[in-house]
Amino acid sequence: MNVLKQLKQFYWKDRYLLFISIVCLMCSTALGLVYPHLLRFLIDNVIKKEQFEWVPYLALLVVGVVAVKASFAFCHGFAGGRLGNRIAFTLRNALYEKLQYLSFQYYDRAKTGDLMSRLTADLEAIRQFIGFGFAQILNVFLMFTFGAIMMLTMNWKLTLITFVTMPFLVFTALRLEKRIHPEFRSIRQAVSNLTTAVQENITGVRTVKSFAREPHEVKKFALRSEEYKGSHINLAHTWARFFPILELLSSVCVVILLTAGGMFVINGSMTLGELVAFFSFIWYIIAPMRDIGFHINNYTQSKASGERVLEILNQYVHVKDKDGAIALQPEQVKGGVRFEHVTFAYPEKQPALIDFHLDAPAGSVIGLLGGTGAGKSTVIQLLLRAYNIKEGRILLDGRDIRDITIESLRKQIALVFQETFLFSSTIRNNIAYGRKDVTDEEIFRAAKLAKAHDFIMELPLGYDTIVGERGMGLSGGQKQRIAIARALIKDPKILILDDATSAVDMETEHEIQAGFRELMKGRTTFIIAHRISSLKQADEIIVLDGGRIAQRGTHEQLLKQPGPYFETYKIQYSDHPDFAKQTEERRVAN
């Protein structure tokens, strides 16, 4: 029940629906107790005494009871369904909101398919149990209690004799719950793995086909499907072992009743009508006890699902606003950035930055160059507060960014990633994503600066053209130019270009950079690039190697120094007509 206690905040505000559902179910259950008494009256008073004038009245009474019982059953179903759907709605929104605010550190380990499974299948199991399962489990105890009371009032000796097998029935049901819960947990994990496999395959279908790896993917999916099948087979084996025992104990209970009850009727200690009524009451008890396995099934399934949902809800948010954090006002931000002796390492990895120092005055352009894993993207991630630093500090206009609210900090930063992501929406909506109040003129201006306007206008619906999932239907360069326009329209104080022109040709890169030079005026800009042509205009270029600063200076200064910058320049420009001349000038200068 600990899972239900932790989820209480999501259903307790609608507890009146839960109470209505339970009360209506109790009334419906209580009305069911009328039938055995009607049978006893029919046998002992109507048939045995031949008072057949009671038959019409009994028939009308049965119809009335059925009608009222059906009304209560409807109210139970309506209230339970409404409760379950409200819980699913509230819980789904809470999960989605929590996922929005979890830090990058969580997503470094999370799998998309697993998260999708928790938001769908696991929530459905919780909805079913809280909406109906909880009331039905309570109803099992109500039926047992009501039935036992009625039987004890009719013949307490026969009741005690009949209940001999009940402790064994309860013991078996409890053992079933203990054995079945881990298996439902494994089934939920198998569903997540299966969903992840499907999601990854569909997302990377072009890669799969380009490498002709369809057989490999089919085999990989078959393995995941085999795990899912195996989990269900294990569950079926458990049911196969326990369910016959439950059936046997129920049947033994009936046999004992018929044997002992028959003896009581023969010796005159009870009437035939009482025996028939007693027989009806015993099924009133046995039926829910036999179905307790089904209810345990629902309970353990929802328990496993609830644990998986709570794993997200209870997930620690590593990066969050500190108490008293200040919300930046756009007009107050100039854009000066300073890294002071920052050292940072990703969890369970070697340091990505070591004693990193950088001073970027407002309006300056900083270039970052280095090989894969050198620490370039880490610099940007730390500026965005995607991770918390352990040593050193980062300042924005002289204020530690940890003293600034995350939302207001990131509103002053626009970033164009190397891997472009577009939403399945119109091009207009993708460009305007970073702002709420944006005009068509601003969208067109941003697209023109990003050199995207011309190709957009050639599309069938222009800016209202809907791009496919993740921008499918557009070339890599087109997607990147839309992403650049999306960053420009934000009108940021700090602009970050993470190899933003890697997917465009040299001519388009030159045109985009010309637009950047106009936009960079008055903004602090960080350019991460592998092409030196993108860094030539930077006020300072920092060359990183293994998380440390290997070189720093302007383009001209670094060309005159031996080191990784000139080696990179030599690789990229060795066939350039002026390369020999520049090399000679460098040799003479040294």
Q: What per-residue confidence (pLDDT) applies to 579? A: 58
The residue segments making up the domain with residue 228 are 2-313
Q: Answer yes or no: is 9 within a domain.
A: yes
Q: What per-residue confidence (pLDDT) applies to 339? A: 94
Q: Answer yes or no: is 573 within a domain.
A: no
Q: Answer yes or no: is 576 within a domain.
A: no
Q: What per-residue confidence (pLDDT) applies to 507? A: 65
Alpha helices in 50-165 (DSSP H): 55-101, 104-107, 112-117, 123-128, 134-154, 156-162
Mean pLDDT of the chain: 82
Q: Answer yes or no: is 21 within a domain.
A: yes
Q: What per-residue confidence (pLDDT) applies to 519? A: 66
The answer to whether 187 and 231 are in contact (CB under 8 A) is yes
Q: What per-residue confidence (pLDDT) applies to 407? A: 87
| CA–CA dist 431, 426 (Å, integer) | 9
Q: Answer yes or no: is 40 within a domain.
A: yes
Total number of domains constituting the chain: 1
Q: What per-residue confidence (pLDDT) applies to 239? A: 74
The answer to whether 363 and 335 are in contact (CB under 8 A) is yes
Q: Mean pLDDT in runs of 10 for the chain (590 residues)?
A: 80 86 87 80 77 79 87 90 88 88 82 80 84 81 81 83 79 74 76 76 69 78 84 81 78 82 83 82 74 72 84 86 87 90 85 91 90 85 88 92 90 81 85 84 87 87 80 74 84 82 62 64 84 83 90 88 84 65 56
pTM score, whole prediction: 0.72
Q: Check residue 402 and report its DSSP letter.
A: G
Q: Answer yes or no: is 408 within a domain.
A: no
Q: Answer yes or no: is 239 within a domain.
A: yes
CATH for 301: 1.20.1560.10
Buried b (16+ CB within 10 A) or exposed e, 114-130: bbebbbebbbebbbbbb
Q: Answer yes or no: is 417 within a domain.
A: no
Alpha helices in 204-213 (DSSP H): 205-210
Q: What per-residue confidence (pLDDT) applies to 588? A: 56
